[in-house]
Each structure stands twice: as structure tokens, then as C-alpha cells.
A and B are shown apart, each in its own frame.
Chain A
């Protein structure tokens, strides 16, 4: 099961309650290559809408990055590039993503992938002075949770 399927199951079946007041800022969703384009090629199914649905369940001010979905640009750290010793190329690669983010006006960017999150949060944010917050999609959900009363 993908992270999207499980989170959506909890949201749709009412197993978790979310508070939209926690994230009032402008929020953009980043399409990871592996959950989108590449998943479509490999398994015939892409996760484009699921991540958006989950993000919108947590925040009201939702922004798109253009182009997105099948045409989305890679963060620049995929395919193991985050661990590779070619950091100048990796940052250069990410210039398009950085431009998309600053054009969207988002203050928070949601990344459903470990690689993308690290590149956006630890590299592009500093290299391109984006001044953004970056969260995993499950981090967004966890931070929005209304905790049930149980002991």
C-alpha cells in the first residue's frame, strides 16, 4: 500500500480528524517523479490526485506548481543524486523547482518523498533563498491531527 492509500483510507473512513487551523499559510504540493510519472510507467498507476486530496484536507490555501503531474519537474535529487558527490549539478538541476516554488508564493511545500523533502528543505531552500517550510505529507497530517481522547 502506498502512503497515499493508507492516509486517504484513514481520512475517508473518518478514522482520523484533521484541523485546518494549524496550517493557514499558502501550501504547494510537489509531485515526486517516482509516485507520478515513473509509477505510471512501472505499475500503470500514478499518484497525482491522492496527494492533493490529502493536502487539501489539511489546508485551505492550496497552490499548484506549474507544470505539474506528468510534466512535473524533478527536485533534482532523485535517482540517488542526493547521496552522489555531484552537488553543484544537483543544485543546478533544482533551479527550475526553486523558480516554480517562488512563483507559486507558497510558504509551505509538501513533499511525499524522502529525497525530495531533503533536497527542498536542506538544499534548495538555502541555495535559492526560498524562505519556505517543507514537510512530508505524513508530517503535515500528523501535525494537523485532532488527537482522540483515549487512555
Chain B
């Protein structure tokens, strides 16, 4: 808690000359610093100590930002005030947010995890405009947020909270990204899908499943891998060939019934782009680029991303 004073007022209060107060400040015996409007700021704790030394009651008024409740014993657990260092935040996308965010808290009311870890979207925005970049990047809260956009939807000032959240995620060291998200991104860049399924295994699995489907309800069905000139190129969520292969058949059954000409690429078929979640724009671009390459290579007209 800070105590705000004018040199002249403090001089009068303690019965000394204005220059005496200035001398104390300059010599460091009174630890205060310049504040706005020719006023000075000192810790309320220091003000209380000064009063005690002079045998006076601390002065509490509407202008000095101190509640009467704070009076009494010297506050030994005074929390150090945060220094605003004037550095520009790398995270706050627009410095005008300091003004345009009215701290109304509508975002915090809309957010289903407000209060988790003592944080909410309003506080995150405020931390960003105050330049608390390090704290934000170290916090796990932006990763518990699902970037659902309820906050942004409700914001009367149009603060881009989701872009902010993604920016915070993107600034974290890649090795410290929680969970398998970044590992999936690296794996995808290296082997073409998030789970590193080899090409031969994938093609074999698809053909096998196609045969099952043909026997089950779609006579004559064959899984179309790398078919040039098919109308629809379909991407695959790697969790399906990895753990729930039968789930791929639903789309195939619909295509069969509709008489659609579709195909699946044998390489770079991953449809899940985890760069979106880890805040990794470069990786995202590479993965999208590969899908575009597949579209060109196989000369398809329509791209379906069932993710």
C-alpha cells in the first residue's frame, strides 16, 4: 500500500520546513519517490514508522488512498509494490488496450474457468498491458484456457483476448509446452503426421478397412489412396488410424452411398494442425502447405478437413 503526499503537506504535518522533507528524501532517510502531479509516494509502512518516531497519529484522508482499517500495528507483511518499468510488452497486441479495456470484468464472468489459479481473462489482459510478460509466459493458465472465445464474444471493447492467449502460448520455450502438443508438431514436421505413423502401415490399414467395409455393407468398395483427379481430397485425424481405425469408415460409407469420387493421400495426410494450439505459426504454415501440395499433386477440386 502506498502513501501519497505533497512535500508542503508533510512538512506542515510534522512541523518542519519543506526543505527538510526534501533533504530527507534526497538523503534517502525518507524513502519516497516522485509520483504524478508534484506529489510523492512512499510505502504506507514507512509513513507509519515516521509517525511513530514523531509520536503522531497517521493521517488518513480521502486523497491518500489508505483505509482506516490499515491503521494500527505496523504492517510487517507489506507486499512490495510492483515496479512498472516502462518496457513495452511483447504480448499486449495493442498498447491502447490499457485504455480501451475498462476492466469491466464481463470476460471474467463469461469464462468457465475464471478463478482457477486465481486468474481470469480480465487479469490476463491487465497483466499484458502492465508488461508482466514473464509472469504470463510462465503461467499455465493460458494453456488451461480452451480459447473458446466466450470472453471475446462478450467484451464490449473488442479486446482480442484469443489472439492474446495464443501469443502468450507461442512465447513459451518449445520444450516447456505442456503435454504432447509440441511433440506432435515436431513429429508432424518430421514424419508427416502427429503420431509418426509410417506410410506403409497407414496404407495397409486403409486398404484392410476398405475390404471390411466392402464385405459389411458397401460391395465393391476399395479405399482410394493417391487417386489422381478425384473430386474430394480427405485429410485424416491421426488418432483414428492410431487408436480408433473403424471410425474412418463412416465417411467412406457416406462417400460410397453418395457415389462420390474421393481420395486419401498416402503421405502428409494429417488433418490436425497443432501449431494452432501451441501458437506456432511457422509449423502451421508448413503443414497447411503440404495439404496444398497434395491438392495440386492429386489434382483434386474439393478439400475436406473433418477435424
Is the CB of B116 closer than 8 A to any CB of chain A? yes
B110 closest partner in A (C-beta)? A71
Collect the chain B residues with CB atoms within 8 Å of residue A77's CB.
Answer: 146
Please state if B144 and A89 are interface contacts (CB–CB under 8 Å): yes
Q: Give the Cβ gap from A100 to chain B, nearest Cβ, in Å.
A: 12
Is the CB of A113 closer than 8 A to any CB of chain B? yes
- The stretch from A22-30, A103-111, A124-132, A140-148 touching chain B is A140-148
Is the CB of A16 closer than 8 A to any CB of chain B? yes
Please state if A6 and B302 are interface contacts (CB–CB under 8 Å): yes
Is the CB of A52 closer than 8 A to any CB of chain B? no
Is the CB of A79 closer than 8 A to any CB of chain B? yes
Q: Give the Cβ gap from B117 to chain A, nearest Cβ, in Å.
A: 9
Please state if B178 and A3 are interface contacts (CB–CB under 8 Å): no
**Which of A70, A80, A81 has a CB less than 8 Å from the CB of B274?**
A80
Q: Give the Cβ gap from A19 to chain B, nearest Cβ, in Å.
A: 12
Please state if B258 and A83 are interface contacts (CB–CB under 8 Å): no
Given contacts A10-B258, A79-B277, contact A86 B178 (CB under 8 A): yes
- The stretch from B87-95, B125-133, B216-224, B284-292 touching chain A is B216-224
Please state if B304 and A3 are interface contacts (CB–CB under 8 Å): yes
A residues contacting the other copy or chain, number (CB 8 A): 46
Please state if A76 and B250 are interface contacts (CB–CB under 8 Å): no
- The stretch from B28-36, B44-52, B147-155, B198-206 touching chain A is B147-155
B183 closest partner in A (C-beta)? A83
Collect the chain A residues with CB atoms within 8 Å of residue B253's CB.
Answer: 142, 145
Within the assembled complex, what's the spacing in Å between the Cα atoms of A62 and B116? 35
Within the assembled complex, what's the spacing in Å between the Cα atoms of A138 and B258? 13
Given contacts A1-B304, A81-B144, 4 further A-B contacts (CB under 8 A): A10-B258, A74-B148, A80-B179, A84-B181
The 4 closest A-B pairs by CB, nearest first: A80-B277, A74-B148, A78-B146, A79-B147
- 27 A-B pairs with CB atoms under 8 Å apart are A6-B304, A7-B254, A10-B254, A10-B260, A16-B257, A33-B147, A33-B149, A73-B112, A73-B148, A74-B146, A79-B145, A79-B277, A80-B277, A81-B143, A81-B144, A83-B184, A85-B179, A86-B178, A114-B237, A114-B239, A114-B306, A136-B250, A138-B306, A145-B254, A145-B257, A147-B218, A150-B219
